[in-house]
Structure 1
């Protein structure tokens, strides 16, 4: 049996972390499908090969195999009608019918049967206008007279049939259920006319449809006991349907794809028990947002705690249902939390012991917990838990130079099911500005921890994570202690190790207290708060223990030695900052003629003084084997003498360093390796000794076009806008803020070097029109791409998701990405995917920080690969 903490890790997470129930082992997809109820003989579809193909497609486009397996297991653990109720608005049927039906076809293929109820409000407004009837609303409810009802009834029948027929085209058996599904009485006949208040749901008809292999498709029309048809709001119908079926999920499909906060950012998740009152007090929660949250709370208060509501775009339905991160806004009840700062505050100490023991293994588990409680009785701590003790977190506060430590996090199956863990971590974030914890390097959910941390470092099978530590010196101290002491430090200061040892020997486990970065729970899990957190992965430090001989000389101990030629510019400064936190590279020399003799700022590992290195100096250093990697951060057309000096120094020497050139001088030289790891074979970069680092515009443009090269029906046109840091530090009109204010400067309108670079690398001619704007850093591309055959937006987005699955520095998003969201980040965001009416032209948008992934970060990727380290070593992942 898995421990609760191990189960918790298997459960997955989202940005504010949704969780599956604990203590359910992940099972193969095929096995999960076999455990579903058998299909009725009336269902004629074939499920074996189709199912396999659809699952493979989903695994590569929306989430990991683990995620899909677990969610399939969860959704098939209840009767079919209790999987999900999905409310489809009229606008979705008009604008997103194909995307909706593709998503429903996937669910149907894997044996999941959502209950669909749809409206047709926008269509009804249009028809009434054509008929000369002016729609009337009272308190937001449509006043329905006989003429309006007649138009609405006919419209609902047509829209229902349209949806059913479209599903049948995709191989989905769907059954229209338009009459007799909702019993109702008049809401207020005098005020609203023929508008109904639902009093009952015909569950039997729904269950019969599903048992016969059909998706039930309902309209939001109801009947009175005497047969009068009444109009019912589709949201109201969906809520009453949910109350009757008690599904795991209630899904409201929305063109916007979720709820948004005051800053216009999509809200990932809301835990109502903890956040409802706070939300209702916020000025930005008003009008439709306020009403929607209030209505959903009223609905969830009447449903089991396992039920959650999702507001999602139809194109993201699979991602919302089958991935930890989700895609829209998830709303759940959550749970109220209690806290304690002393053992006496716990009502039942035996219950606390039982909670702590349930995650322990071995015969001395109780003794270990007793020692732990002795420690807590004598030291400061704060515990967070729910009333039923389904979740418990214990934090040891910052003290004596030690960062606050998450020492315990244990969650039961019920705790995960009711999302108590999310609430706990929301509180942790509020009360503990910084926190440190460790997990095992081989943990199957290690990537999830990277998502929740601001930084991390790996040593001897353990990973230390942290968030909220902004002081560079403190981060360096944490990393240094962890790296140098490794397991020894985790031995003497590891809470669990000392408790275990003390339980066996009877000694005091904390006689020589030092900083503790560990957790009592074997696999602690934490999550991000529901609002306002912009988390990113930490510093990935998984190092190749056997670097290639001849690059990083395996006979030499210590980090790779780096020389930076041209460190004055913005890119050089960013690279210095990255090298400062890299555990396996040392910056030994920086060359700048203007700054010679001055101290290099921003590098804290050692004191480095600017030099004015000549090509002769470079030749002699290479000949002596002083440097493992030369980085040329010089303007175009300047670095050739230094590169040739390295060539000269290699003659007659066994040493052969790596050269990474950031200029455009060697990007068209076939003897150099083009260093764009996401599009170039990484083995080629790993084997290279001379690497041409791609341009910033060119990197974003290539990543934005590459997945569609085989589908091109003409020349892509790239409208690119860069911040003025791309113009360098030398004064010019393109980096003059006064000149740029209220302005946009086009330049090099044809024949820009990046136009040639992109065309050369993609093997397809592109047009590139660059501009410079008043912001400092970041590039936005709007790329118009002609297609040789008609494609849908969803098809194209899936191509991109497939192509970049597993790429840690490429993020495929739904909406067009924004420059302000990529500034300071180390990857590329690609989105938009707007297709014109012909289906033969798509507009794709891409953003990149020109100084990071556009230059310094990509340089470090190439250095890592060529020097034998893990590609993302020292890079904070997106």
Structure 2
């Protein structure tokens, strides 16, 4: 692996120029499926900031990132953010914390850190045989306890400051002089303080000197007595004085979680939701206290202030994207809905539409004309609803011609403040509560187009607009809606090129259960041409297509089997043919009228003539009418032209959907399993040690050409290692995960891969060793995988060890058998072991090809794929 330190020496090819003197910055870089620590030399401020801002573009759109940077830079430095850090974060995740804070500083921001040290203090008290005592949840702090607390706070403060300094970030330790306090209740709690004044000058002088202020929560009385103060309370009091845009509470759970559903709560708008939240049966004890404290804090701050509860590793995504990553809490405003213009402030709505609605702001129409349209709609028996918030930062108009019809989201205007405060999300929740079926149209040039994609179940590009729909299942309805919204006719059957898919990028990742909805009510078959049917994968593809409700075989080409009937295909009589590349090109020239999809099940280095023939033939045909091509060989898995998409849906689904080039490189079998095993832990990998993959495949993986690797007699009671270095799957795993993890091309991820063949026919077992940059518990590992693959129908997670024989003949992969070494090892448990099984002919090849075809053809992703629970008992 090329390390970042080496990258710095490569001159013009390096990301940032090295300075003669300058420490190394390790910046956490988060993408859709994970992040990795990189190292950069501290360079000139402007170029370095530009570099890191570009890194931020990988976690959100350029517009989002720049919007938030402007927002955060619009106030004085000390008013950006107060970040409360729990003691457990310092002890367990110091490197990630320091990296996250450094990242913020490198884009010109100065977060103020207030940290606790509760777990460390308890440990020291236990060692000193001092009992930790609490009253009303407050630590009773006597003299001996306070003496140890001072030492512990100073030590933990020093650890964080030194970690920042090692990354080249100037930081100032502030262990006193900021918080002035009186005794909270001396008789009851002893030396515990109630903050009465904050000396903000101490903090501000640190920022003026270019240093991040790192504060402990210890306070002093006016006469100098040290008092203990809870870090949450100290951070809140500091926030009341500084009035920052953000108050951030870092925790390990990455947010607040709903006590009934178990799902992370993305946003809470207190003015709208607080009273109802407190009535929830699961909101009690610490959760209720936390919400009350946050409510009291935000009630005293400007409405622009908000609280984020987030883990250190997701801090960038929470701060710089609309989707966020943790729990965002803000006051917001109460929302309203009205059924008549007479019941709203029409002048304020007019002002918002003139600012944010393209048809009215451009002068194409006027608000008065629009009011008249709504009045006419009502006269003709139709209805309209107007939604908004009290200050009219966001407003929406929903119309319906008559009862029973699908409602139309006719206007949705959101100011910059509404977008930054996620108020548009709250309005959306109110709209879909009242209207479970919606259609709307948005110009392609709309700045917030991604927001609409995230909330739609499907979309269709028509001219300069994109028509979106939500909650509509019947393709006939969708077709009529597209025609009504676009003014042009839409196909009456579900065309293969339409992008019909469910939301792909909700605030916390893929939405729902990961399944795309099928909007097709048509039985029109989609025709597949299969080139290379003699091999085992070709046979499995024939079986799958034979059972697929929408696919049928048009051609099955095999030089050896030409003229023989296609075995196992019962939809219609069909013989094998022997198609040349030129003949395939001639058929492709007719577009999708003859073949909708070509599947190339050929050996490596054989597909190119067929692909070239197809490309030449369809040059004059529109992209929508061109047949798609799925290549099962390795020939296009390393494509750098952008024409081919890598077809591992669980990791690249959004690219498969949105890019939709019609050219898909199906991953290799070993590479599929290895990536599924590694991807959830990408963010935790130690950049200085290589992941290792030990793989064993059944002999069907060696193909049908006779060799020792597929000779059952030779394999009997045997195990053969082959290609111990530089196996093509080794390169594929690293190449693909480099893109998945957002690693720079000059510093790619590499893995060690050792393939073996065993005396069973089909199936793969992988044992994967993953070096981690931190100590992670076994329960944490299992939870990461469960969350990562939640809703994925073709990846099952188990805490037991997957078994090949239970997975052979199945269409899903199983990930499990998690293990971490004991912390007595030299690397303190910084290694995880993961096991993966899958069928090399199915999820490793044929099933995945059908999965990719379904996506490219606009069908339900899992259509025609037998879905079943795994044989083993999953935990």
TM range (shorter): 0.5 to 0.7
Partner of 2:478: 478
Contact 2:667 2:844 in 1 (8 A): yes
Partner of 1:488: 488
- Matched residue of 1:381: which SS? strand
- Matched residue of 2:432: which SS? helix
Q: Deviations over 1:359-416 (max 9, x none)?
A: 3122752442243332354321222122333322121247466421111122334544
Any residues of structure 2 matched to 1:545-584 within 5 Å, and which?
A: 562-563=528-529, 572=544, 576=548
Distance in 2 (alpha carbons) for counterparts of 1:268 and 1:853: 33
Any residues of structure 2 matched to 1:454-469 within 5 Å, and which?
A: 454-469=457-472
- Matched residue of 1:317: which SS? helix
Q: Aligned-pair distance for 1:81? A: 0.9
Contact 2:643 2:663 in 1 (8 A): no
Distance in 2 (alpha carbons) for counterparts of 1:253 and 1:529: 18
Partner of 1:822: 792
- Matched residue of 1:168: which SS? helix
1:120 to 117, 137, 162: 117
> Does the alignment pair 1:142 with 2:139?
yes
Q: Aligned-pair distance for 1:307? A: 1.0
Distance in 2 (alpha carbons) for counterparts of 1:371 and 1:780: 67
Partner of 2:66: 69
> Does the alignment pair 1:427 with 2:430?
yes
Q: 1:373 to 1:313 in 2, by over 3 A?
A: same
Q: 1:400 to 1:340 in 2, by over 3 A?
A: closer
**Pairs aligned (count):** 684
- Matched residue of 1:160: which SS? helix
Partner of 2:387: 384
Contact 1:824 1:849 in 2 (8 A): no
Q: Aligned-pair distance for 1:126? A: 0.7
Any residues of structure 2 matched to 1:137-286 within 5 Å, and which?
A: 137-261=134-258, 262-286=260-284
Distance in 2 (alpha carbons) for counterparts of 1:362 and 1:327: 38
Distance in 1 (alpha carbons) for counterparts of 2:123 and 2:695: 37
Q: Aligned-pair distance for 1:463? A: 1.1
Unaligned runs of 5+ in 2: 1-41, 491-502, 557-564, 620-625, 647-660, 702-716, 735-750, 776-782, 796-810, 863-875
Distance in 1 (alpha carbons) for counterparts of 2:819 and 2:301: 38
1:784 to 745, 769, 781: 769
Contact 2:324 2:508 in 1 (8 A): no
Any residues of structure 2 matched to 1:241-390 within 5 Å, and which?
A: 241-261=238-258, 262-346=260-344, 348-358=345-355, 359=357, 360=360, 361-362=362-363, 364-378=365-379, 379-390=382-393
Normalising by structure 2, what TM-score?
0.65
Partner of 2:753: 766
Q: 1:751 to 1:284 in 2, by over 3 A?
A: farther
Contact 2:185 2:192 in 1 (8 A): yes
Q: 1:827 to 1:223 in 2, by over 3 A?
A: farther
Contact 2:774 2:830 in 1 (8 A): no
Partner of 2:455: 452
Any residues of structure 2 matched to 1:27-38 within 5 Å, and which?
A: none
Partner of 1:505: none
Distance in 2 (alpha carbons) for counterparts of 1:168 and 1:456: 49
Q: 1:353 to 1:449 in 2, by over 3 A?
A: closer
Q: 1:622 to 1:201 in 2, by over 3 A?
A: closer
| Larger deviation, residues 350-359 vs 233-242 | 350-359
Q: 1:854 to 1:323 in 2, by over 3 A?
A: farther
Contact 2:182 2:194 in 1 (8 A): yes
Distance in 2 (alpha carbons) for counterparts of 1:225 and 1:410: 53
Distance in 1 (alpha carbons) for counterparts of 2:140 and 2:229: 11
Q: Aligned-pair distance for 1:136? A: 0.4
Contact 1:394 1:409 in 2 (8 A): yes
Cα RMSD (Å) of the superposition? 5.4
Partner of 2:573: 612
Q: Aligned-pair distance for 1:840? A: 11
Q: Aligned-pair distance for 1:52? A: 3.1
Q: 1:822 to 1:689 in 2, by over 3 A?
A: closer
| Larger deviation, residues 747-756 vs 50-59 | 747-756
Q: 1:292 to 1:837 in 2, by over 3 A?
A: farther
Contact 1:336 1:386 in 2 (8 A): yes
Any residues of structure 2 matched to 1:586-605 within 5 Å, and which?
A: 596=570
Any residues of structure 2 matched to 1:714-863 within 5 Å, and which?
A: 716-717=692-693, 758-759=729-730, 761=732, 766-767=753-754, 783-785=768-770, 792=773, 817-823=787-793, 838=827, 843=832, 859=849
Q: 1:828 to 1:120 in 2, by over 3 A?
A: farther
Q: Aligned-pair distance for 1:151? A: 0.9
Partner of 1:699: 672
Distance in 1 (alpha carbons) for counterparts of 2:106 and 2:663: 50
Distance in 2 (alpha carbons) for counterparts of 1:839 and 1:56: 35
Q: 1:844 to 1:229 in 2, by over 3 A?
A: same
Distance in 2 (alpha carbons) for counterparts of 1:748 and 1:263: 49
| Larger deviation, residues 106-115 vs 757-766 | 757-766
Q: 1:830 to 1:242 in 2, by over 3 A?
A: farther
Distance in 2 (alpha carbons) for counterparts of 1:571 and 1:269: 47
Distance in 2 (alpha carbons) for counterparts of 1:684 and 1:526: 20
Q: 1:849 to 1:140 in 2, by over 3 A?
A: farther
Q: Deviations over 1:305-326 (max 9, x none)?
A: 1111111111222222122222
- Matched residue of 1:408: which SS? strand
- Matched residue of 1:766: which SS? strand
Contact 1:177 1:218 in 2 (8 A): yes
Distance in 1 (alpha carbons) for counterparts of 2:820 and 2:421: 38
2:443 to 440, 446, 461: 440
Q: 1:105 to 1:720 in 2, by over 3 A?
A: farther
Contact 2:353 2:413 in 1 (8 A): yes
| Larger deviation, residues 855-864 vs 419-428 | 855-864
Distance in 2 (alpha carbons) for counterparts of 1:128 and 1:785: 36
Q: Aligned-pair distance for 1:239? A: 0.9
Q: Aligned-pair distance for 1:73? A: 0.6
Distance in 2 (alpha carbons) for counterparts of 1:407 and 1:827: 42
Q: Aligned-pair distance for 1:241? A: 1.0
Q: Deviations over 1:260-287 (max 9, x none)?
A: 2234332222222222233323333344
Q: Aligned-pair distance for 1:873? A: 6.3
Q: Aligned-pair distance for 1:206? A: 1.3
Contact 1:63 1:322 in 2 (8 A): yes
Distance in 2 (alpha carbons) for counterparts of 1:630 and 1:872: 9
Contact 2:673 2:838 in 1 (8 A): no
Distance in 2 (alpha carbons) for counterparts of 1:689 and 1:86: 46
Distance in 1 (alpha carbons) for counterparts of 2:618 and 2:387: 57
Q: 1:467 to 1:837 in 2, by over 3 A?
A: farther
Q: Aligned-pair distance for 1:123? A: 0.7
Q: 1:333 to 1:633 in 2, by over 3 A?
A: same
Q: 1:485 to 1:593 in 2, by over 3 A?
A: farther
Partner of 1:548: none
Q: Aligned-pair distance for 1:294? A: 2.7
